[in-house]
A and B are shown apart, each in its own frame.
Chain A
Amino acid sequence: MASTAPSAPGRWSSSRLSEGKFAALLALPVILVLLAIVGYPTLYSLWMSLQDIDLIFGKTFPVGLLNYQEALANPQFWHATFVTIYYTALVTIFAVAIAVGGALLLNETFKGRAFVMALVILPWAVSLYATAIVWKYIYSPEWGLFNALLLRTGLVKDPVLFLSEKGAVPAMAVAHAWQIAPLGIYFVLATLQIIPQDLYKAAKVDRLGPFGRFRHVVLPYIKTPLAIVTVLVTVEAARAFDIIFFMTGGGPGDVSTTLTWDIYRRSFVNRDLGSGAAVGWLLVILTFIITTIYFILLFGNERRRKREGAS
């Protein structure tokens, strides 16, 4: 009997915990860590945004909502907001287009597919700052690849300035899309691969052409994943900082000054941390809204799948 005795001494008593209590116990460390390293600084920055902060003497003076009023009355802030939206929209369009195209391609069977599949993830592993350096060099008028090709083929006589007033934001968006699209390719591809082969056959029997097949077979499956990728890319683009730091420094002038760069300039160039915290908060609110959409999509997706799985 001793050998099969229930609850040998020393065994952790959690065996009688309910599932909910056990889950709470497991979740505790991460909740504490998140509260300490995300929650506390967030609240702290809320407090900072209500202060005028003198970094040299380490003194703070409460100023109420002055930092927010100043930012919202400042055309530079609205310009930065506009640039952020413009940049985000471009990155999203480019990245989603690459993701869908790449995924549709990799869903075909062809020789070397495994090789291409392994290769396309590479940009994702390249950091955003290194991406910025790489593309800055690609665009460079002195030693850039694009100008080397354009000059060699005689299409232009003088080097083209890609990071110009008009070109800077789209040029950065292309670089960012290059870096972030692979994740989208993998995700959309994973979805494509769960589409039953029989559905394609049925579509053929029903005499649907390639576009009909895309519209009636592929699209219904990838609609939700596509929305999820879109929102994810949107968040990533809205919070991009490294790429601006290395490629344009917010310029020329302030044509590529996004909210992230505005926060950086206020906080660490002008050393006005209160003002930086205030705009920082406004950016958090912006990403929070996008995140909420993201969450609703994901959670809805999970529940739908569970429902379908259950039936």
Chain B
Amino acid sequence: MTVRRFFTYVAAVILVIWTLFPIYWLLNMSLMFKPELLSVPTHLWPHEPTLSNYTRLFGATAMGPGGELPPIGQAASIRRGLVNSAIVAVAVTALTMIVALPVAYALGRLQFRGRAALLFGIIASRSYPPISIVVPFFFLYSKTGLQGTLQGLILIYLTLTVPMVVWVMTSFFGSLPRTVEAAARVDGNTRFQAFTRVILPMSWPGISVATAISFLICWNEFTFSQILAAGSTAQTFPPALSTMFFQVSQPSEMAAASIIAIIPPAILAYLFQKRIRSVNLVDPL
């Protein structure tokens, strides 16, 4: 038994290291000045830690080992990208909930003809390759003037969030006790009121996860924004980052920016990890 326990702990340590070391390395890089980063071999932890890579992202100057460092060149687009990402994520999430919750309820709790077909449609939309769907959108947007607009991004982001939220909430609604509607109906509610007055308030745990996931999808989306909005005033944070990544070699600053990109999703994941486990993301049926 102790041998088994020993191996369990070893495996647990390996799993933790495997999960964390990439993030740790990014953090390590983001806390170094460039000369230290370029030393061979690279230090495994920052010997002279600095937050200057973060402050310079937002337009501050900083004192480095070789004199004053200017703000990074993309500070303005980074800031605008963060704001755009937040706007798009909030708008898309709100729209998604309005559209997706009713159908998820129907799929999760009602028996009707065409249910299988609709489920298939949802799953097919969910596995649609983004790069395939962005091609017609690119052409349509270039003709209608939606190219490089927040509205355009919001519209195409729905193709990602709606199927996902329907998916998650179908699972959640399906897991509620079977007699809830019966009780609500007998209490004097119509079918629709049973949904709005009883099921929805009961489903707050599931809805909060779905909201978090929808937000996460928007915040993390790269392909659509890169192709439909890169360089425009509507570009979100990820394409702003990609510009920075490919323009000049500034790995420490880039690492700091990436950490900023990771922080909101990481916080959400931490807050919701218990609920994510109870809401089945892989198999909602």
Contacts and interface: CB of A to CB of B under 8 A. Distances in A.
A–B contact, 8 Å CB criterion (strictly below): yes
Interface of A: 11-12, 14-15, 17, 19-20, 22-24, 26-27, 29-31, 33-34, 37-38, 41-42, 44-45, 48, 53, 55, 58, 98, 101-102, 105, 108, 110, 112-113, 116-131, 133-135, 137-138, 140, 142-145, 147-149, 151-152, 178, 182-184, 186-187, 189-190, 225, 228-229, 232, 235, 238-239, 241-242, 245-246, 260, 263-264, 267-268, 273, 276-277, 280-281, 283-284, 287-288, 290-291, 294-295, 298-299, 301-302
Q: Taking chain B's interface residues, is the majority helix, strand, or loop, or is none over half, making it mixed?
A: helix
Nearest to A185: B15
Contacts of B25: 134, 137-138, 145
Given A134-B25, A145-B25, A149-B44, 9 more contacts: A12-B193, A30-B99, A122-B23, A123-B19, A126-B266, A148-B44, A235-B127, A239-B131, A299-B119
Nearest to A239: B129
B15 A116 contact: yes
Contact of B16 (A119, A135, A263, A302): A119
Q: Which 9 A-B pairs have the closest CB atoms?
A: A127-B220, A125-B269, A302-B285, A239-B129, A280-B132, A45-B136, A23-B112, A125-B265, A15-B190
A135 B29 CA distance: 13
Contacts of A133: 26, 241, 245, 254, 258
B125 A38 contact: yes
A263 B23 CA distance: 31
Contacts, number: 303
A143 B269 CA distance: 29
B86 interface: no
B162 to A, nearest CB: 6
B12 A126 contact: no
Interface in B109-127: 110-116, 118-125, 127
Interface stretch (B49-57, B64-72, B137-145): B137-145
Given A19-B110, A30-B103, A280-B132, A134 B26 contact: yes
B172 to A, nearest CB: 14
Interface of B: 5, 8-9, 11-12, 15-16, 18-23, 25-26, 29, 37-38, 40-44, 98-100, 102-103, 105-107, 110-116, 118-125, 127-133, 135-140, 142-143, 155-156, 158-159, 162-163, 166, 190-193, 195, 216, 219-223, 226-227, 238, 241-242, 245, 251, 254-255, 258, 261-262, 265-266, 268-270, 273-274, 276-277, 280-285
Contact of A183 (B23, B158, B282): B282
B131 A26 contact: no
A14 B15 contact: no
Nearest to B143: A58
Contacts of A101: 11, 15
Contacts of B114: 24
Nearest to B212: A125
Nearest to A280: B132
Nearest to B264: A125
Contacts of A273: 135, 138-139
Contacts of B223: 241-242, 245
Contacts of A182: 19
A119 B20 contact: yes
A19 B112 contact: yes
A22 B58 CA distance: 52
Nearest to B267: A125
A239 B136 contact: no
Contacts of B19: 119-120, 122-123, 182
B112 A11 contact: no
A49 to B, nearest CB: 9
A143 B103 contact: no
A186 B277 contact: yes
A12 B131 CA distance: 43
Given A30-B99, A37-B156, A127-B219, A152 B41 contact: yes
